[in-house]
Structure 1
Amino acid sequence: MDIPVKFSRFGRVAVVAAVAAVALTSCAANEGGATATSAAASDLKGSLAGSGASSQGSAQEAWVAAFQTANPDVTINYSPDGSGAGRKAFIAGGVQFAGSDSALSDEELSSTFAACAADTKAIDLPVYISPIAVIFNVEGVDELNLDAATIAKIFAGQITSWDDPAIVALNPEAKLPSTPITAVHRSDDSGTTKNFADYLNKNAPDVWTAEPADTFPFQSGEGAKGTSGVVDTVKGGTGTIGYADASKAGDLGVAKIKVGEEFVEYSAEGAAAVVEGSPLVEGREANDIAIKLDRETTDATHYPIVLVSYLIACQEYADPKVADLVKAYAGYIASDAGQEEAAKSAGAAPLSADLAKKVQDAIASIK
């Protein structure tokens, strides 16, 4: 298994230098799968708008800053409006690319994509891998063990107090209060919700009976918009619990999740291992790379509550100038430099060498 998860730390200057260096040798991209820009950095001009997953927010800020520094005549704006909003905006032609914690559905792929050339479709490019943390704020509780069934019951509204016997059984040494539980979920359409729900549906189907979807399925708990909304609500409440991209967990408590017979902390390495061991979704076009995540692993080196966030782009753009910019930006994001920047700024897991090659080959096919 080839999972390059250990990075050296280096500053923004080094990132910029790497982007520029790869950009200026972009002719190699055509030979090796579009490892960065498909035109010299000094030749790139124009603007791009993207919208979507708030989980990508920190990484997108870092990617945009580095790319624009290396390409001063390019302006990129990314609005972290949520995965569902991003996909809708992209399909309607309001943005040139989308970020999404869910790959396009079969129904969405049957849409007409306004920014794409006539009779062409969009493709999903996995560019950001991150664990989803189960965050909590309970007075007197610093450590918490949870299994899938207990998490499902909490968020479905079936467990309502922190001293519930199911939680006590998993945490015999903890001093759990009788405080009511406030389970905080995303109020907006969210790929993070879909990934979280997919884990619960696969591992506790008797409790989490709803099919995984971007919309939270139960009339329980408290809703909050965006990753930052969930984190702020958990932080500002009492007896709260929520789920969010791990990069935003901050100083909140984070539960250990039962995998096999062990309780496992989230890690970039564990998230990357799950993705590496998961197959691609069948029946997709050659350059549409959607991953069917293995949520039921019992390997304690894996962390199964993971999201793969995609950059969604046209296979062929109606405007070739837009295609050049998207290829350049996506190529940087999927490059070693871009992946290291996401690891440094957002705690993301890197693409494996094999997956990175698939993504770069798909980017090279954009026209």
Structure 2
Amino acid sequence: MKVERFGRAAALLSVASFALVACGEANNPGDNGGDGGGDTETSDVQGTLSGGGASSQEAAMTAWTNGFTSVAPEAQVNYASVGSGAGREGFLGGEYDWAGSDAAMDDEEWESSQEICGPDGAFHIPSYISPIAVAYNVEGVDETINLDPDTLASIFAGEITSWDDEAIAEQNEGVDLPDTTITVVHRADDSGTTENFTEYLEAAADTWEHEAHETWPAELSAESAQQTSGVVDLTSQTDGAITYADASQIGDLNSVAVGVGEEYVEYSPEAASTAVETAEQVEGQAPNNMSVELDRETQEEGVYPIVMVAYNIFCSEYSDAETAELAQAFGEYVVSEDGQSTAEEAAGNAPMSEELREEALSALSEISAAE
């Protein structure tokens, strides 16, 4: 049974606000407190939708769930910030109705999703685009430090151990670098952020000898902490520490400008968005799947290559119409102009392009309920 509650994506969007139309019929729009007509419509979807996953999306997810409640007052969306790996595991185990993940499902996970999501399995919507900052805390150094991929990899591999190392100094003329010991801080839990960061190191650096994975290489000795907030807190408390984290959550920490071609590029929403626009879409899995493969070795001017594309992973088919309707409605709000703007204000992510939004809404329109 195809869910028919929501019309085509373009009909759901307006410049002023997000208009969510239920059952193809608009409810009486509000007027922001006056008696005249406004253009904000609400949805009559109801029930509770439960999700879990990436902690990097936590700020954006709070903005999305609050924003969705404002247009769908009879609906409630809960999100557990448990990490990407645990989120996907909970989704596949039936604990969550959808998952937030900083990394796409592999083929084995997607095949498992067919057991709960119908023959087309689950599909990915790239809802949250964010640069991964290489953040550091070095007392007395307030300048942005430049680091090329090989130097970054050598630091995180424990081969460069002091901030005044020659490899760092020669890229940062005029910066008074102390002889402070470098303390590498990594995620202790399964993390899509770790997978994205190590994927970058594997692709861009000749000095990195480890495969990309959502867990940090066990053979590398370093400090660790749980989730994004944990690594940021530990780095903030440790002179000489360096870590990797969603750029929107690094707080007052400084961050590295990464070597790309002949220049050094600082992270920004614009530089991250450019990286995604040049990415290739991964083929296979569900027909409406939207996972992408980023070019980590790019030499393009102005591109920040350490980018995380966080997905919301939904079922193509849900067991009941209420859950299918809620999942589709929430997904459509997240990728709407209002939803992306709300998340940008709360979390600093890079809003998706209009072309990507249209594709996402088309993919979400394929959600159905079992007969």
Q: Which residue of 1 aligns with 2:20?
A: 23
Q: Which residue of 2 aligns with 1:226?
A: 227
In structure 1, the gaps of 5 or more residues are: 1-14, 30-39
Secondary structure of the equivalent of 1:41? coil
Paired with 1:366 and 1:141, the residues of 2 have a C-alpha distance of 51
Is 1:318 aligned to residue 319 of structure 2?
yes
Shift of the alpha carbon at 1:114?
5.7
8 Å CA contact retained: 1:129, 1:309: yes
Q: Which residue of 2 aligns with 1:60?
A: 61
Paired residues for 1:1-367 under 5 Å: 18-19=17-18, 22-24=19-21, 27=24, 41-112=42-113, 115-117=116-118, 119-143=119-143, 144-204=145-205, 206-217=206-217, 218-367=219-368
CA 1:318–1:170 in 2, change beyond 3 Å: closer, same or farther? same
Q: Which residue of 1 aligns with 2:31?
A: none
8 Å CA contact retained: 2:120, 2:287: no
Shift of the alpha carbon at 1:113?
5.2
8 Å CA contact retained: 1:90, 1:113: no
- Aligned pairs, how many? 339
Amino acid across the alignment from 2:141: V
Shift of the alpha carbon at 1:234?
0.6
Shift of the alpha carbon at 1:219?
2.4
8 Å CA contact retained: 1:133, 1:246: yes
- Give the stretch that moved more between structures: 239-248 or 211-220: 211-220
8 Å CA contact retained: 2:113, 2:122: no
TM-score, length basis structure 1 = 0.88
Amino acid across the alignment from 1:27: G
**Alignment identity in percent?**
48
Amino acid across the alignment from 2:20: A
Shift of the alpha carbon at 1:300?
2.5
Paired with 2:283 and 2:138, the residues of 1 have a C-alpha distance of 43
Amino acid across the alignment from 2:292: I
Paired with 1:141 and 1:199, the residues of 2 have a C-alpha distance of 26
CA 1:83–1:254 in 2, change beyond 3 Å: closer, same or farther? same
Shift of the alpha carbon at 1:295?
1.0
Deviations 1:216-241 (A, max 9, x none): 11422111111111110110111000
CA 1:115–1:282 in 2, change beyond 3 Å: closer, same or farther? closer
Secondary structure of the equivalent of 1:220? coil
Secondary structure of the equivalent of 1:282? coil
Shift of the alpha carbon at 1:95?
0.4
Shift of the alpha carbon at 1:116?
2.5
Paired with 1:42 and 1:249, the residues of 2 have a C-alpha distance of 36
8 Å CA contact retained: 1:90, 1:115: no
Shift of the alpha carbon at 1:283?
2.8
Paired with 2:359 and 2:189, the residues of 1 have a C-alpha distance of 31
CA 1:114–1:156 in 2, change beyond 3 Å: closer, same or farther? same
Shift of the alpha carbon at 1:129?
0.3
In structure 2, the gaps of 5 or more residues are: 1-13, 27-40
8 Å CA contact retained: 1:93, 1:113: no
Paired with 1:50 and 1:234, the residues of 2 have a C-alpha distance of 29
RMSD, matched Cα: 1.9
Deviations 1:253-279 (A, max 9, x none): 111111111111101000000100111
Secondary structure of the equivalent of 2:280? coil
Amino acid across the alignment from 1:23: L
Paired with 2:187 and 2:235, the residues of 1 have a C-alpha distance of 12
8 Å CA contact retained: 1:92, 1:114: no
- Give the stretch that moved more between structures: 130-139 or 69-78: 69-78
Shift of the alpha carbon at 1:42?
4.2
Paired with 1:345 and 1:114, the residues of 2 have a C-alpha distance of 36
Paired with 1:219 and 1:169, the residues of 2 have a C-alpha distance of 26
Paired with 1:202 and 1:120, the residues of 2 have a C-alpha distance of 31
8 Å CA contact retained: 1:92, 1:113: no
Secondary structure of the equivalent of 2:161? coil
Deviations 1:84-122 (A, max 9, x none): 1100000000000000010110111121456424x4411
Secondary structure of the equivalent of 2:211? coil
Secondary structure of the equivalent of 1:77? strand
Deviations 1:310-349 (A, max 9, x none): 0001000112210100000000001111111111111111
Amino acid across the alignment from 1:170: Q
Amino acid across the alignment from 1:289: M
Shift of the alpha carbon at 1:79?
1.1
Secondary structure of the equivalent of 2:292? coil
Amino acid across the alignment from 2:214: D
CA 1:26–1:56 in 2, change beyond 3 Å: closer, same or farther? farther
Deviations 1:134-188 (A, max 9, x none): 1100011112111111111111111111111111111121111111111111111
CA 1:203–1:26 in 2, change beyond 3 Å: closer, same or farther? farther
Paired with 1:115 and 1:285, the residues of 2 have a C-alpha distance of 14
